[in-house]
Amino acid sequence: MRCVQEGEPTASPSQGTMLHFWKDYPHIQQDLARVQDIMRSSLQGRDPLLNQTIQTLLGRNGKMLRPGFVVLGARLKPYRKGPYPLQKPLPEKIYHIAAAVEILHLATLIHDDVIDRALTRRGAPTVNAEIGDRNAVLTGDFLFSRCFSIVADYSTMENARLLARGVSHICESEIAQSRRFDPATLSVRNYLHRIIGKTAFLFSLSLFVGAEELKAPRALTTSLRRIGYSVGISFQIIDDILDMVGTPETTGKSTGGDLREGIYTLPVILAANADQKVALSLYTPENLATPSGYEKARAFILSHGGVEKSREYAKQYTERALREASRLPPSENRKVLIEVIEKLLHRSY
């Protein structure tokens, strides 16, 4: 259940993906361009291989949803007697915190790819495929250290603690996910608990922290936290659906990677609920290790409504986020948030 970036079809999502995703919102594009500049300057190391790896990695950035949510959260804070002006730059600390959030996300992706032995991401070789597992892990550690260095310089102590707890949640969820082919994990409750730690927490923190750092009213930050959780859950469900029915040309990774690795995502779980005995006979490592065995398992998941039922779950969480967003004070930035939430439900990678 790999966390990936988001958007419309393309063979090799990159920095252009970010520009395309936010193309209708030039003020957010400008904010994110500033965030990218900070990331590049903050991630300069002394080792040439490290610098080359990081610059290549930054050049492959997806839509930068999480830093986008940081700046959106900040722009939803009331400004004097009205909404935050679209053309007014945010305080510099917001851009640095947004950069830290994205650096944290990139670090988790590198470690995730090492754990999953993944060779491609977003249509390009993974860091571990290019420089080996050992150097990839160390690169991820370097990103973690720079993330917390930025947070220490620009964030409040409480938000720094929240970010640290987020890393703990992500690690615990990865450990829970590593219990592969365990029938005890075939429950929607276990799945949701896992993705809250792996994906939803960081989405929630991103929306919350932007507003919190500007001392927004408690009612607003509470709403943004709730919206982020719901959006993050829906986002991961759609990602898991695409792992089942997407194509490498649109998703940038091979189809069915999670199932082959023995990771029970929501489509897999919901199909198993219809006939667990047959499901467990198909979800074995021996069966999934062969092309014919994998295709049988995939056909079972599709025929037993795993994908359709999962889409309903994603829709429900999206609607929950939209209801909460509709209660925010009216502004152009609220409109952007609502449109982005809707766009994520209908993404194709």
Judged against a pLDDT cut of 80, whether residue 255 lies above it is answered with no
Judged against a pLDDT cut of 90, whether residue 88 lies above it is answered with yes
Structure tokens at 290: 């062969």
Structure tokens at 262: 């023995």
Report the alpha-carbon distance of residue 5 to residue 22 in Å, rounded.
Answer: 13
Report the alpha-carbon distance of residue 274 to residue 302 in Å, rounded.
Answer: 12
Structure tokens at 207: 């929306």
Lowest-confidence segment of 118-127, 185-194, 221-230, 320-329 by average pLDDT: 118-127
When the pLDDT of each residue in the chain is averaged and rounded to a whole number, the result is 89
pLDDT at 6: 37
Confidence band, pLDDT 50/70/90 cuts, at residue 86: confident
Residue ranges covered by each domain of the chain? 15-345
Q: Which helix (H) or strand (E) holds 116?
A: helix 92-116
Give me the CATH code for the 15-345 domain, please: 1.10.600.10
Residue type, 248: P
Strands (E), the chain: 120-121, 124-125
Confidence band, pLDDT 50/70/90 cuts, at residue 271: very high
Confidence band, pLDDT 50/70/90 cuts, at residue 119: confident
Note whether 97 and 213 are within 8 A (CB).
yes
Q: In this structure, what are the phi and psi dihedrals at residue 116, rounded to the nearest 5 degrees?
A: -85, -5
Lowest-confidence segment of 21-25, 216-220, 296-300 by average pLDDT: 21-25
Report the alpha-carbon distance of residue 324 to residue 224 in Å, rounded.
Answer: 8
DSSP character string of 297-336? HHHHHHHTTHHHHHHHHHHHHHHHHHHHHHTSPP-HHHHH
Cα distances (Å, whole numbers) of residue 35 to 21, 100, 222, 262, 337: 16, 9, 25, 36, 19
On the 0-12 / 13-18 / 19+ scale of CB atoms within 10 A, 215 is exposed
Note whether 307 and 241 are within 8 A (CB).
yes
Angle formed at CA 177 by CA 238 and CA 244, multiple of 5 degrees = 35
Q: 7 or 296, which is more confident?
A: 296
Closest to 190 (Cα-Cα) out of 176, 201, 171: 176
> Would you tell me how many other CB atoms lie within 10 Å of the CB of residue 184?
8
Note whether 198 and 237 are within 8 A (CB).
no
- Rounded-to-5 percentages of helix, strand, coil across the chain: 75, 0, 25
Judged against a pLDDT cut of 90, whether residue 7 lies above it is answered with no
Confidence band, pLDDT 50/70/90 cuts, at residue 62: confident
Q: 46 or 247, which is more confident?
A: 46
What pTM did the predictor assign?
Answer: 0.90
User: What is the rounded average pLDDT of the residues 308-333?
Assistant: 97
Report the alpha-carbon distance of residue 321 to residue 307 in Å, rounded.
Answer: 21
pLDDT at 70: 98
Rounded to 10°, the helix 306-326/266-274 angle is 130
Report the alpha-carbon distance of residue 66 to residue 272 in Å, rounded.
Answer: 32
Among 96-105, 159-168, 239-248, 260-269, top mean pLDDT goes to 96-105
Report the alpha-carbon distance of residue 201 to residue 267 in Å, rounded.
Answer: 21
Lowest-confidence segment of 140-149, 254-263, 299-308 by average pLDDT: 254-263
Report the alpha-carbon distance of residue 283 to residue 288 in Å, rounded.
Answer: 7
Confidence band, pLDDT 50/70/90 cuts, at residue 252: low
User: What is the rounded average pLDDT of the residues 274-301?
Assistant: 94
